[in-house]
């Protein structure tokens, strides 16, 4: 089964790839993604300087999913600008994720990483874990101002990684802004920010930063992710490429994202739990599912979710 896909005129050998943040911080991790069946290499969100991130424990996995408050640990853009050209040998697209603690940080990281020409750039407007720094993606006008400046700097296709929205008004206002700016693709969604997981036996939180608050991922957020993929697919009349992220642990989960309108799917929690072999398993499961259902390609079922 051909699981290849195209986003903003960039061809991906398969539609399954890592989510930014999951096993993609170090050179070793990025090379391991290169050797895996991941359809792309997506970097950890990069800031101008190296960041240690938040104190540990800062990631916790449980049956419902995961909670993290990593705090943007990354090597800093000079390191990624040096690593990215060496990743080309793996022959798959490279998506550089760019973040910052302030708009000038974003611009600086974007300028530097654009110079080494990753295939696409994903602007992360939705990190929930920096104490005192709200997620920019929840402020439509601040997002517009930042993205307009980034659009002038970034010469490769520019996408945005958005936080989950929970009201149609927010989907609509954000879609209008993204249309005005002219972004090339969407990654939906980042973790569901500021959740709290409690260990009832120990009567305490499970991660250290921010009093235990952190971004939720994995199976429990799948319906929220699907809703955001679907809402933006409809608002853009199916013309905006969408990478679906959230709760994909099986081929069926990936299929659900595609039915809602995703052109590709990113894997976070399941990748951390299983390691890079997860891509092979999901590829097999998705391929067999499509075959069983009689679909010859992803595009045959993309966005075709039926309503009652
Ligand atoms: O590093 C993190 O704490 C983090 C980031 Br930048 C993000 O975008 N999403 C997330 O769940 N964690």
Catalytic residues: 127
Distance 236 CA to ligand 1 centre (A): 26
Residue 286 pLDDT: 98
CATH code for the domain of 160:
3.20.20.70
DSSP secondary structure string, the chain? Answer: ----EEETTEEESSSEEEPTTSS-SSHHHHHHHHHSS-SSEEPPPB-SS-B--SPSP-EEEETTEEEE-----B--HHHHHHHHHHHGGG-S-EEEEE--SSHHHHHHHHHHHHTT--SEEEEE-----STT---GGG-HHHHHHHHHHHHHH--S-EEEEE----SHHHHHHHHHHHHHHT-SEEEE---EEEEE-EETTTTEESS-GGGGEEEEESGGGHHHHHHHHHHHHHHTTT-S-EEEESS--SHHHHHHHHHHT-SEEEESHHHHHH-TTHHHHHHHHHHHHHHHHT-SSSTTTTT-----
Query: pLDDT tens digit string along 3-37?
Result: 999 999 999 999 999 999 999 999 999 999 999 99
Q: Is residue 147 part of a domain?
A: yes
Give mean pLDDT, residues 209-234.
98
Q: Is residue 93 part of a domain?
A: yes
pTM over 0.85: yes
Query: pLDDT tens digit string along 140-167?
Result: 999 999 999 999 999 999 999 999 999 9
* Residue among 161, 190, 224 whose CB has most ligand 1 atoms within 8 A, to mutate: 190
Residue 224 pLDDT: 98
Distance 308 CA to ligand 1 centre (A): 36
Q: Is residue 18 part of a domain?
A: yes
Query: pLDDT tens digit string along 167-182?
Result: 999 999 999 999 999 9
User: From the alpha carbon of 191, which atom of ligand 1 is closest?
Assistant: 11
Residue 95 pLDDT: 98
Q: Is residue 203 part of a domain?
A: no
Domain holding 180, by residue range, is 5-54+72-192+218-300
Nearest CA, atom 9, ligand 1: 127
Q: Is residue 288 part of a domain?
A: yes
Residue 200 pLDDT: 97
Q: How many domains does the chain have?
A: 1
Q: Is residue 200 part of a domain?
A: no
């Amino acid at each position: 089964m051909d699981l290849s896909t195209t986003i903003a005129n960039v061809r991906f050998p398969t539609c399954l790839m890592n989510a930014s943040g999951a096993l993609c911080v170090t050179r070793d991790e990025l090379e391991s993604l290169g050797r895996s069946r991941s359809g792309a290499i997506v970097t950890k969100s990069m800031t101008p300087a190296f960041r240690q991130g938040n104190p540990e424990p800062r990631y916790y996995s449980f049956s419902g999913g995961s909670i993290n408050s990593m705090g943007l640990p990354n090597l800093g853009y000079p390191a990624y600008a040096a690593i990215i050209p060496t990743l080309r040998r793996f022959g798959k697209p490279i998506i550089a994720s760019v973040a910052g603690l302030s708009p000038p940080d974003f611009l600086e990281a974007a300028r530097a990483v654009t110079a080494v020409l990753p295939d696409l750039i994903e602007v992360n407007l939705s990190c929930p874990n920096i104490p005192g720094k709200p997620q920019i993606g929840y402020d439509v006008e601040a997002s517009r101002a930042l993205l307009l400046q980034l659009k002038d700097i970034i010469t490769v296709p520019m996408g945005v990684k958005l936080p989950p929205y929970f009201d149609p008004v927010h989907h609509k206002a954000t879609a209008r802004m993204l249309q005005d700016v002219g972004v090339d693709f969407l990654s939906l969604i980042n973790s569901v920010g500021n959740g709290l997981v409690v260990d009832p036996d120990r009567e305490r939180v499970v991660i250290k930063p921010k009093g235990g608050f952190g971004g939720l991922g994995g199976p429990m957020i799948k319906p929220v992710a699907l809703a955001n993929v679907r809402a933006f697919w409809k608002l853009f009349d199916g013309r905006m490429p969408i990478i679906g992220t959230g709760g994909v642990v099986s081929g069926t989960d990936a299929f659900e994202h595609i039915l809602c309108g995703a052109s590709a799917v990113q894997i976070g929690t399941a990748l951390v739990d299983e390691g890079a072999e997860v891509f092979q398993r999901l590829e097999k499961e998705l391929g067999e599912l499509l075959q069983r259902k009689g679909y010859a390609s992803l595009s045959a079922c993309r966005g075709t979710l039926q309503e009652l």
